[in-house]
């Protein structure tokens, strides 16, 4: 075994866990879950069967990653944030055949106590503010805040707010990484700095 599991954690037989991943106190990983390399699952995390987690994903304490959720590489899930997988749950009515998939793309951050309603896609490098409720697809690099969640800005790869309008056009160069961001027709794209 080339990953670390705390003695209090439960990893069901059949679960796939990549090299260098760390599974901490009271975590439960179900048998069909797939977890990449270099991940960290904090205290009291649950990972369902129909879950795929990429490499270098950080899941903080008290997060349940339910069936139908896919987290791409470098995703950050803040403490006690919530994923749902049934849109209209009722205790008396079984809807396990109605799970809606949720996709969180590469490099996205989900803040503490945020909620991601099933069926949504969170774009690459997007940033969901603490406590926000996401019920629609989120563009790449978008900063989402509030209840219900609305786009309030853009975030850089470095994790800082980009001083560009939500809509319109413009350019900005990150002072930390040197990346150049271009906003056109409501879509933000980035050109990576070329090495010297």
At residue 132, the 3 state secondary structure works out as: coil
**What's the CA gap between 1 and 170, in Å, rounded?**
50
Contacts of 100 (CB under 8 A, 6+ apart): 68, 85, 86, 87, 118, 119
Helices (H) and strands (E) in the chain, counts: 0, 26
Question: Alpha helix locations (H) across 48-149?
Answer: none
> What six digits make up the tokens of 16?
């796939």
181 vs 29, 124, 171, 172, CA distance in Å? Answer: 38, 14, 5, 5
Profile the chain (196 residues) by mean pLDDT over runs of 10 residues.
95 98 98 98 98 98 98 98 96 94 98 98 98 98 98 97 95 96 95 72
Which pLDDT value is given to residue 196? 53
Which pLDDT score, from 0 to 100, does residue 194 have? 64
Give domain limits for the chain: 4-163
Q: How far is CA 76 from CA 111, 170, 172, in A?
A: 8, 28, 25
Whose structure tokens read 């809807």? Answer: 95
In words, the CATH class of domain 4-163 is mainly beta
Report the b/e string of 32-49 with b at 16+ CB within 10 A. Answer: bbbbbbbbbbbbbbbbbb
pTM score of the predicted model: 0.96
């Amino acid at each position: 075994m080339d990953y670390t599991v705390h003695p209090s954690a439960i990893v069901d037989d059949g679960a796939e866990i990549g090299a260098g991943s760390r599974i901490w106190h009271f975590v439960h990983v179900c048998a069909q879950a797939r977890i990449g390399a270099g991940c960290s699952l904090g205290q009291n995390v649950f990972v369902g069967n129909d879950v795929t987690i990429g490499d270098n994903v950080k899941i903080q304490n008290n997060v349940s990653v339910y069936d139908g959720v896919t987290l791409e590489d470098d995703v950050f899930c803040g403490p006690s944030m919530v994923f749902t997988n049934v849109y209209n749950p009722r205790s008396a009515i079984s809807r396990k055949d109605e799970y809606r998939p949720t996709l969180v793309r590469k490099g996205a951050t989900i803040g503490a106590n945020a909620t991601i309603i099933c069926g949504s896609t969170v774009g690459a490098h997007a940033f969901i503010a603490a406590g926000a409720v996401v019920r629609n697809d989120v563009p790449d690099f978008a900063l989402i805040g509030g209840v219900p969640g609305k786009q309030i800005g853009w975030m850089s790869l470095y994790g800082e707010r980009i001083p560009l309008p939500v809509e319109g056009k413009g350019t900005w160069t990150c002072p930390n990484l040197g990346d150049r961001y271009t906003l056109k027709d409501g879509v933000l794209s980035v050109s990576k700095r070329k090495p010297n």
